[in-house]
Amino acid sequence: MDALVAGDTMPEAGAGRVGRVRIALYGAANLPTSVVGLPIALYVPAFYSQNLGLSLAAVGALLALSRLTDVVTDPLIGILSDRWRTPFGRRKPWMVAGTPLMVLSLWMLFVPDSAVSIAVWSALGGSGVDNLYLFVWISALYLSFTLVDLPYRAWGAELSPDYDERSRVTGWREAFGYGGTMMSLIIPLAIAFGLARPGAENALYGVAFAVLVLMPLLTFPAIAFVREPPIRGVTTPHVTWARGLKIVWGNGPFRRLVICLTFFATGISMTASMSFFFVQRVMEQAFDRYAIFVLAYYISSTVAIPVWFHISKKLGKHRTVVLGIAWLSLWSSFIPLLGPDDFALFFVIMLLKGSAIGALVFLPTSMAADIVDLDTLRTREQRTGLYFSLWGMVNKGATALGVFIATAGAAYMGFDPQSEANDATAKMSVALLYSIIPAIIACIALPLLWRYPLNRDRQERMRGFIERRDARMREVAETGTNA
């Protein structure tokens, strides 16, 4: 089988395509969860340190520590969603179960002073918003993400076996995701300008209310109208956490891609967690200008996704990601040279830099879906949930690591988010943690990505072999039944 991966036979015609309507319905479910993601990085550290008085270093540490539960929950839910068989599907029940927890924990985290939050926290024995409050509700929110997002992404990886259509599925999903991201930025702008209530506290309230409305509206149509595809390969046997980890770590391309993900997810997270402090304290701009800037940044990212998709069809996914990292690093190098009088130039640079983010989000996920085919080819089993659980665990862990490195580094260098009189050293540390250092970390992945072994031709050969093998297995089963 490994010889097949190296290239010796051509595939037969693939299965039917998913279709744009189903891809759109599937992708739309990513919008409400994506509304949540960015405010956690942009506003939660600022809100809990500036408004509620918690230490910035403590907030960063708690955000990182809350990810430790993912070491257990992600592989567990991934394995269970692979093995669970219901008329409703393997992935969808988890999404239904996780949605109420996501809505509750999001409200508790984003709107801690509401009557509902106070009542719920009091019923649990808590008193006031402190480090324990933050840790409990950010951990609950991350657990709900695991319940909803992990099966959702495994479902997306299984929608199509086609190399390019997988990129289309992830592209639509991430485009809706960026739509959610832009909503998380438009909402604070609308509140700041329309209601004259700027600030992180009001931004988080608006985001929480939007998610409360959007979750059922966009999640349940996908669950109702987009079918899960039939399982390819044989039924997955019981796999322990340790055995599952050994299986996926033995997959060389997956191991290489996960290492790369660790580096560039850490870098992206550092940039996001420092952006508010950089614009407010280094560039000396007001909250409303910050919201406009971040909105433009992610519009640039979204608009560039079709461009990166077109490039990936020419260069391959892995080398397109390399190009995206190089493009991001190029424009990051200018940022520490800018000051408060250079905001217009900074705005242009960030539009150019932001255009790279799309390549670093949807293409690696599409590459991970290709890797599952290699495992199915070798083992005759389909462990998409297990693979994406470990993928999500590493992604979330790297994101938390980025927040911790950035916030702890800034605090160590004397940066005070509540002070308007930080010295030059503290401001420069924020600038470097926002730009140069994340770019350097992301660039560590370049050699591993450039020599990545799975390209379009190899994936198509794998897919063709799997389809022919599954067809033979169905014929044998039908013959045995008829006999």
Q: Residue 365 pLDDT more than 50? A: yes
Mean pLDDT lowest among 44-53, 422-431, 451-460: 451-460
Question: Average model confidence (pLDDT) for the chain?
Answer: 83
Mean pLDDT of 15-26: 77
Beta-bridge mates of residue 234: 381
pLDDT at position 11 is 35
Q: Residue 87 pLDDT more than 50? A: yes
Distance between CA 182 and CA 30 in Å, rounded? Answer: 13
Task: Report yes or no on 264 lying in a domain.
Answer: yes
Q: Residue 105 pLDDT more than 60? A: yes
Mean pLDDT of 6-20: 48
Task: Report yes or no on 14 lying in a domain.
Answer: no
Band (9; pLDDT cuts 50, 70, 90): very low
Task: Report yes or no on 429 lying in a domain.
Answer: yes
Task: Among 180-184, 213-217, 467-471, name the most confident range.
Answer: 213-217
Q: Residue 481 pLDDT more than 70? A: no
Band (53; pLDDT cuts 50, 70, 90): confident
Task: Report yes or no on 257 lying in a domain.
Answer: yes
Task: Report yes or no on 394 lying in a domain.
Answer: yes
pLDDT at position 242 is 67
Band (240; pLDDT cuts 50, 70, 90): low
What is the domain range of residue 373?
20-226+239-470
Mean pLDDT of 58-63: 89
- Quote the number of domains for the chain: 1
Task: Report yes or no on 318 lying in a domain.
Answer: yes
Task: Report yes or no on 451 lying in a domain.
Answer: yes
pLDDT tens, 64-86? 888 777 777 877 887 788 777 77
Mean pLDDT of 403-420: 89
Q: Residue 180 pLDDT more than 60? A: yes
CATH number at 205 reads 1.20.1250.20
Percent pLDDT > 70 in the chain is 91
pLDDT at position 472 is 80
pLDDT at position 139 is 92
Mean pLDDT of 197-205: 86
pLDDT tens, 267-314? 988 998 898 889 988 988 887 788 788 778 878 887 888 899 899 888
Distance between CA 44 and CA 50 in Å, rounded? Answer: 10
Mean pLDDT of 209-232: 86
pLDDT tens, 334-349? 999 988 889 889 889 9
Task: Report yes or no on 8 lying in a domain.
Answer: no
Mean pLDDT of 141-148: 90
